């Protein structure tokens, strides 16, 4: 029933005006999403990820290989937005527990708050702001001998990539930072300012298979770049003959190599892979999602070695890939590769 005489309790809000049809700036997208929940469905339907969120990848395949059961102890070593964690929690509760690890002090508290708001208490879920290389210490601190299932979904989350202030974005300008934990180590700008051309060439070749590593290193090493777009422009200018598509790929590879270096990603992954068998209960399962060849090579090598020395009784023989439907509906899933292993009894 409406009462025409009563004042309207919800003041009419004008839709925000943008230069184009849709908001372009991160802040405007963020505001629009928080005010208009229907937009979220529209953004997802268009194949994009709503800003400030992350869409979990290969969920069905991961649940199949990890085979969670009620009462299991799970470790999600890259909690991110908590998408995979929520799916696992739905199965292991009641009686189970999920340890959620993430190195990111900005997003972890938000994810923990979202999970708590869904009624997930401390007995069922604990959040740990830590590098996953430290998983053995987290298990020990919780008095746990090992996990039934372990998941690592490597790389950065959509919240991190999409927020220009974090400095990962090749599209939107922001400080050239790229640290998953901005309280630790040095930013990408500080690294570039100090690094010698020879070391940068090696980094570009090793971390992102960059074919023009030498030329780029000469132009980018020991230089000051305050913002992401300054670096992107300098990388393009170093290789002026490349067409647009190759130039875009070059910028992506430069950003990928720097991100890996700034966050010491390969050392963390190698330590994690070394620790894994001891962190699993006998018969426990691990699944790892990778997003580029440097990660996948390391996971494959560690699983092969663990199978040969008897630590693992079974490993994935082939990589699993997202279905064509998933790649279409979430293009960010396209490069994903999934491998798994089962600890011997």
Binding site for ligand SAM (CB under 6 A): 54, 56, 78, 80-84, 101-104, 107, 131-132, 153, 155-157, 180, 268
Nearer of residues 235 and 336 to ligand SAM, judged by Cβ: 336
**Residue 282 Cβ vs ligand SAM, minimum distance, rounded to whole Å:** 25
Contacts of 339 (CB under 8 A, 6+ apart): 287, 288, 290, 296, 299, 300, 303, 315, 316, 319, 320
Nearer of residues 59 and 319 to ligand SAM, judged by Cβ: 59
Half-sphere CA count of 99, side-chain side, radius 13 A: 29
**Residue 113 Cβ vs ligand SAM, minimum distance, rounded to whole Å:** 14
**Residue 221 Cβ vs ligand SAM, minimum distance, rounded to whole Å:** 25
**Residue 291 Cβ vs ligand SAM, minimum distance, rounded to whole Å:** 8
**Residue 217 Cβ vs ligand SAM, minimum distance, rounded to whole Å:** 25
Residues 276 and 299 sit within 8 Å (Cβ to Cβ): no
Nearer of residues 156 and 232 to ligand SAM, judged by Cβ: 156
Q: What is the spatial distance between Cα 231 and Cα 223, in angstroms, rounded to a whole number? A: 10
Bridge partners (DSSP) listed for residue 129: 102
Nearer of residues 101 and 178 to ligand SAM, judged by Cβ: 101
Q: Which residue is nearest to ligand SAM (CB)?
A: 80
Residues 338 and 289 sit within 8 Å (Cβ to Cβ): yes
Nearer of residues 23 and 82 to ligand SAM, judged by Cβ: 82
Nearer of residues 97 and 179 to ligand SAM, judged by Cβ: 179
**Residue 87 Cβ vs ligand SAM, minimum distance, rounded to whole Å:** 8
CB atoms within 10 A of CB 126: 15
Q: What is the spatial distance between Cα 197 and Cα 52, in angstroms, rounded to a whole number? A: 36
Tokens of 49: 């990820």
């Amino acid at each position: 029933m409406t009462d025409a005489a009563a004042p309207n309790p919800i003041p009419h809000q004008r839709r925000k005006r943008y230069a184009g049809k849709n908001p372009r700036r991160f802040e405007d997208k963020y505001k629009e999403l928080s005010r208009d929940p229907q937009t979220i469905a529209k953004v997802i339907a268009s194949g994009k990820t709503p800003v400030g969120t992350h869409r979990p990848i290969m969920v069905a395949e991961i649940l199949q290989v990890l085979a969670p059961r009620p009462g299991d102890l799970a470790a999600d070593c890259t909690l991110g937005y908590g998408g995979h964690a929520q799916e696992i929690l739905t199965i292991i509760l009641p009686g189970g527990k999920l340890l959620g690890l993430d190195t990111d002090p900005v997003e972890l508290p938000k994810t923990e708050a979202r999970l708590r708001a869904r009624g997930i208490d401390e007995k069922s879920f604990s959040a740990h702001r830590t590098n996953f290389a430290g998983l053995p210490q987290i298990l020990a601190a919780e008095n746990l001998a090992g996990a039934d299932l372990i998941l690592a979904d490597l790389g950065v989350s959509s919240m991190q990539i999409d927020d220009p202030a974090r400095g990962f974005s090749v599209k939107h300008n922001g400080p050239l930072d790229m640290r998953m934990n901005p309280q630790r180590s040095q930013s990408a700008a500080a690294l570039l300012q100090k690094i010698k051309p020879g070391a940068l060439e090696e980094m570009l070749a090793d971390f992102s298979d960059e074919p023009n590593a030498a030329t780029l290193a000469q132009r980018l090493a020991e230089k000051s770049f305050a913002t992401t777009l300054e670096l992107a422009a300098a990388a393009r200018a170093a290789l002026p003959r490349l067409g647009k598509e190759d130039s875009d790929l070059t910028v992506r590879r430069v950003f990928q190599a720097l991100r890996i270096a700034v966050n010491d990603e390969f050392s963390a992954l190698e330590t994690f892979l070394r620790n894994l068998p001891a962190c699993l209960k006998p018969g426990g399962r691990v699944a790892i999602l990778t997003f580029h060849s440097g990660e996948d090579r390391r996971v494959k090598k560690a699983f092969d070695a663990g199978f040969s020395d008897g630590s693992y009784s079974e490993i994935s023989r082939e990589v699993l890939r997202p279905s064509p439907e998933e790649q279409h509906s979430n293009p960010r899933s396209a490069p994903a590769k999934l491998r798994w292993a089962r600890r011997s009894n």
